[in-house]
Amino acid sequence: MVYLDNAATSFPKPQETIESLNRFVTSVGGNPGRSGHPLSIEAARIVFDAREKLAALIGGKASERLIFTRNGTESLNLATLGLVKEGDHVVTTSLEHNSVMRPLDFLAKTRGVEVSVITCSDKGELDLDRLKGAMRKTTRLVIVNHGSNVIGSVQPIAEIRSAIGDVPLVLDACQTVGSVPIDVEAQGIDVLCFSCHKSLFGIQGLGAVYLAPGIEPRPLTFGGTGSRSEFTEQPDMLPDRYESGTPNTPGIAALLGGLTFIEKVGLEQIRKKERGLRRRLISDLSALDRVTVHGNPLDDDALPVVSITMQGLSSSDIGYECSRGGVCVRVGLQCSPLAHRTIGTFPEGTVRISPGYFTTDEDVGRLMEVIEGLAKR
């Protein structure tokens, strides 16, 4: 089976991920921060090490400000529901995933929050003048998709930062952390939201959010933290304030393995491999008459997330033929209806091909056999 759906979750995982997860579930197993016994302490050390490594990867100097969540969606919910208040104004882009659009829709309908959506070009470019022009005195947040899960376009953080002044910037980095270098402090990112099972090579069920100093959203959940247990009031110390209940320690252990792998290989090498895969895909797909590659095929800085449509064939038909040919791709709207309106593929959607670090030339060759076969029909 050829797996080309790494934008949904990376697969396969590196050996480091599997070994770290295996070690936790077979010989550690304790609940971190909940007891004084050795296996609880060892579990807490795994969480601590993963937190320190991950904070370092994104340039976060205060590792306690790196909060583990269930997924990128929960991180974005904490940023939106936790920070935006009645009557606030929020600016975002037309490339956002529903993990941004749906909480904003909820806030607009229930709390009178005004949302300005900046329409991007069909190549995925954000018009910085329009972004600047959309800012108001009441703008509470600017939320930007760093790397598109539909067409792979990557937004320029420095330019966005200077266009929005002092307003807090929330970056949806689900597709970029672990692939594109990020430095929250140097780049002025106030809230960095991401999942840990894509380019970070953890397993599903874990996300994270980095909160810059001064950013203090209302928690989404309240409860036991293993600290200040004599009080019924939620503690205000980080990370405990935002991590009530037993954490996903197996997931965090797997992430620790993934981070070790990234350290070993290096972000540069990972990015180089991904660039090569994108180039090969773009070149092979663009050569076929009936195939349209969406976004900007010439953008060499884009992620290896390639959306195509084929003249005379629906995306579901192509997806079905890929599955029959042993190739896993994602079809439809990829939870991003606005992004598809932006690139002109709504409501039909696209076939999204997303190779990953472990994708081989043979894998791409197998996909191309299927697509070329369809193109000849």
Partner 1 sequence: MQRDSIYYLLFSTIHDVLKAEKRLKETNFDFELVPVPRHLSSDCGVCIKTPVSPAELLSLIPEAETERCFVFDGKEYVTYSR
Q: In which residue are the tokens 């991003």 written? A: 336
**For partner 1, which is the closer residue by CB, 43 or 163?**
43
Residue 32 CB, nearest approach to partner 1 (Å): 7
Residues 44-63 that bind partner 1 (CB under 8 A): 44-45, 48, 51-52, 63
- Which one of residues 64, 185, 317, 348 is an interface residue with partner 1 (CB under 8 A)? 64
Q: Does 30 bind partner 1 (CB under 8 A)?
A: no
Q: Which stretch binds partner 1 (CB under 8 A): 41-49, 91-99, 191-199, 253-261?
A: 41-49
**CA pair distance 249, 45, nearest whole angstrom:** 11
Closest CA to 7 of 124, 181, 142, 153: 153
Q: CA torsion 52→8→241→23, rounded to 10°?
A: -50
Residue 72 CB, nearest approach to partner 1 (Å): 22
- Which one of residues 35, 116, 187, 323 is an interface residue with partner 1 (CB under 8 A)? 35
- Which one of residues 181, 205, 239, 325 is an interface residue with partner 1 (CB under 8 A)? 239
- Which one of residues 39, 41, 81, 267 is an interface residue with partner 1 (CB under 8 A)? 41
Q: Residue 49's CB: how many other CB atoms inside 10 A?
A: 16
Q: Does 32 bind partner 1 (CB under 8 A)?
A: yes
101 residue type, one letter: M
**CA pair distance 372, 114, nearest whole angstrom:** 47
Residue 51 CB, nearest approach to partner 1 (Å): 7
Q: Does 246 bind partner 1 (CB under 8 A)?
A: no
156 residue type, one letter: P
Cis, bond preceding 347 (omega within 30 deg of 0): yes
Residue 295 CB, nearest approach to partner 1 (Å): 41
**For partner 1, which is the closer residue by CB, 156 or 235?**
235
Distances (CA, A) of 14 to 122, 171, 198, 271: 35, 27, 12, 16
Q: Are 375 and 310 in contact (CB under 8 A)?
A: yes
- Please give the size of the binding site for partner 1, defined by CB under 8 A: 25
Residues 173-232 that bind partner 1 (CB under 8 A): 225-230
Q: Does 358 bind partner 1 (CB under 8 A)?
A: no
Residue 310 CB, nearest approach to partner 1 (Å): 51
**For partner 1, which is the closer residue by CB, 33 or 349?**
33
Residue 45 CB, nearest approach to partner 1 (Å): 6
Distances (CA, A) of 247 to 50, 124, 180, 225, 319: 13, 36, 27, 10, 36
Q: Does 238 bind partner 1 (CB under 8 A)?
A: yes
- Which one of residues 5, 19, 22, 34 is an interface residue with partner 1 (CB under 8 A)? 34
Residues 121-150 that bind partner 1 (CB under 8 A): none
Write the secondary structure of 330-346 as one string of H (helix), E (strand) and C (coil). EEECCCCHHHHHHHCCC
Residue 25 CB, nearest approach to partner 1 (Å): 20
In degrees and rounded to multiples of 5, residue 93 shows phi and psi of: -120, 165
Q: CA torsion 289→291→295→299, rounded to 10°?
A: -60
**For partner 1, which is the closer residue by CB, 36 or 347?**
36
Six token digits for residue 36: 């004084």
Q: Which stretch binds partner 1 (CB under 8 A): 37-45, 166-174, 287-295, 308-316?
A: 37-45
Q: Residue 161's CB: how many other CB atoms inside 10 A?
A: 19
Contact positions vs partner 1 (CB under 8 A): 32-37, 41, 44-45, 48, 51-52, 63-64, 225-230, 235, 237-240
